[in-house]
Amino acid sequence: MTVGNNGVLRVAMVGYAFMGAAHSHAWRSVNRFFDLPAKVRMVAVCGRDAAKVSAAAERLGWEEAVTDWRTLIDRDDINLIDICTPGDSHAEIAIAALNAGKHVLCEKPLANSVAEAEAMVAAAAAVRARGVRAMCGYNYRRVPAATLMAQLVAEGRIGEIRHVRAAYRQDWLVDPQFPLVWRLRKEIAGSGALGDIAAHIIDLTQFVTGQRITRVSALTETFIHQRPLPADAPNGPAGGDDTATGPVTVDDTALFLARLDGGAVATYEATRFATGRRNGLTVEINGSRGSLAFDLERLNELEFFDATVPRREQGFRRILVTEADHPYVGAWWPPGHIIGYEHSFTHQARDLIEAIATGTDPRPSFEDGLAVQRVLDAVERSAATGAWTEVSG
């Protein structure tokens, strides 16, 4: 299986909130900017609330709305299932879709546990020979500056990698009156800042360096342990009790040291309590011949320090990553005309369509998603014991 009849890739998406909107934008725009071997048709979007998902279908550009994802699995007119749901449903939906011979794009983190992720990897492996492809959605790999960063590392421009520093800082949970949404419940989200945002910097640093994390020493903390129930909860304000609260069962912040298999050492910080930081993802790589630094809040720029030039010429210099020969950028605007966050999802869709049409395995693969899941698991185990912990696998 590659694409559908007449070179059309018929897509259905499960979930329609924040990530659903980002993915929908990508599916709508990808053929308008990239010359691809298949055309996307946005067939159906799925959500539990009939009225809300119907409104989402109209707003986001889907042909129809359904309330049961299982009906999408059974349909012959759908080639790909795009999973934008909370983590507790990823494994069930993905495995069912793969077993039915449908390509899968699954949002990160891949699952809520290593066991679920391993089952997803096994399901993807079982159908790969039939041309069925699976991708895990770590979109920050496809910010052009981050992709260029990985290329420069692979070319040896900064030499032997010695230090990796990564942080992802947000502040949307600082207010203690912020409600107990699903991201704060372990049974749905799997973990808190760890799986939500640390997963991004784990994947991004492993992608950029080409090295895997092998050992971690971690701590996690939850700062606010009770939060108001959301309006749609049984005992929340809609139910008449505006004082009802529930327990926060995930971490608010996660910090850890790490060793990588290529000899580098690393530090990671992920928090949703960094007051004043809206979406502050930063990565710095220090090598024997230079350094590279990326800041998501300046996502069209990459900082490069070249230690091989004469000392009088040294200093971090800014690369404005908007030239046509930079990764992905040639499909968009003239040099200097910057792009944004949403473009990373369009690049993701572009690469997945190319992989499906050419019969190659897309990256990040489910195996890449499993590698991140194993680090998340090691961080949780290390935080619980206070000891250095090996990453499984």
Fold of 5-140: Rossmann fold (3.40.50)
Instruction: Give the whole-angstrom CA distance, residue 210 versus residue 368.
Output: 12
**What is the identity of the amino acid at 185?**
R
Report strand pairing: 265-271 vs 253-260: antiparallel
pTM for this entry: 0.96
Average pLDDT, the chain: 96
Instruction: Give the whole-angstrom CA distance, residue 88 versus residue 296.
Output: 28
Both tokens of residue 195?
């799986």
Report strand pairing: 253-260 vs 213-221: antiparallel
Quote the pLDDT of residue 239: 56
**DSSP per position, 330-384:** GGS-STT----HHHHHHHHHHHHHHHHHHT---SS-HHHHHHHHHHHHHHHHHHH
Both tokens of residue 337?
């005309």
Helices (H) and strands (E) in the chain, counts: 11, 17
Both tokens of residue 328?
């992905």
Quote the pLDDT of residue 235: 63
Q: State the average pLDDT over residues 92-110.
A: 98
The answer to whether the beta carbons of residues 215 and 390 sit under 8 Å apart is yes
For the stretch 5-36, pLDDT in tens is: 689 999 999 999 999 999 999 999 999 999 99
Phi and psi (nearest 5°) for 140?
-65, -20
Q: State the average pLDDT over residues 360-380.
A: 98
Alpha helices in the chain (DSSP H): 18-33, 50-60, 69-73, 90-99, 114-127, 144-154, 186-189, 193, 199-209, 341-358, 366-385
Instruction: Give the whole-angstrom CA distance, residue 221 versus residue 228.
Output: 19
Instruction: Give the whole-angstrom CA distance, residue 92 versus residue 99.
Output: 11
Quote the pLDDT of residue 172: 97
Quote the pLDDT of residue 262: 97
Please compute Rg for the chain using Cα positions.
21
For the stretch 111-165, pLDDT in tens is: 999 999 999 999 999 999 999 999 999 999 999 999 999 999 999 999 999 999 9
Q: How many CB atoms lie within 10 A of CB 331?
A: 16
Nearest to 262 by CA among 166, 160, 187: 160
pLDDT at 67 over 80: yes
Both tokens of residue 287?
């090598």
Nearest to 262 by CA among 132, 154, 145, 135: 154
Quote the pLDDT of residue 3: 74
As annotated, the residues of the chain forming the CATH 3.40.50.720 domain(s) are 5-140
The answer to whether the beta carbons of residues 317 and 304 sit under 8 Å apart is yes
Q: State the average pLDDT over residues 340-356.
A: 98
- Over 43-54, what HEC string results? EEEECCCHHHHH
For the stretch 186-241, pLDDT in tens is: 999 999 999 999 999 999 999 999 999 999 999 999 999 999 999 877 666 665 56
CATH superfamily name and code, 144-298+300-339+372-385: Dihydrodipicolinate Reductase; domain 2 (3.30.360.10)
Nearest to 213 by CA among 167, 256, 172, 272: 256
Quote the pLDDT of residue 263: 97
Both tokens of residue 53?
């998902």
pLDDT at 2 over 90: no
Report strand pairing: 8-14 vs 39-46: parallel
The answer to whether the peptide bond before residue 364 is cis (omega within 30 degrees of 0) is: yes
Percent of the chain surpassing pLDDT 90? 95
Quote the pLDDT of residue 231: 86
Quote the pLDDT of residue 4: 67
Percent of the chain surpassing pLDDT 70? 97
As annotated, the residues of the chain forming the CATH 3.30.360.10 domain(s) are 144-298+300-339+372-385
Quote the pLDDT of residue 232: 79
Instruction: Give the whole-angstrom CA distance, residue 259 versus residue 241.
Output: 49
The answer to whether the beta carbons of residues 166 and 294 sit under 8 Å apart is no
Instruction: Give the whole-angstrom CA distance, residue 305 versus residue 163.
Output: 14
The answer to whether the beta carbons of residues 295 and 282 sit under 8 Å apart is yes
Both tokens of residue 62?
């889907």
293: Cα separation from own chain's centroid:
20
The answer to whether the beta carbons of residues 376 and 199 sit under 8 Å apart is yes
pLDDT at 1 over 90: no
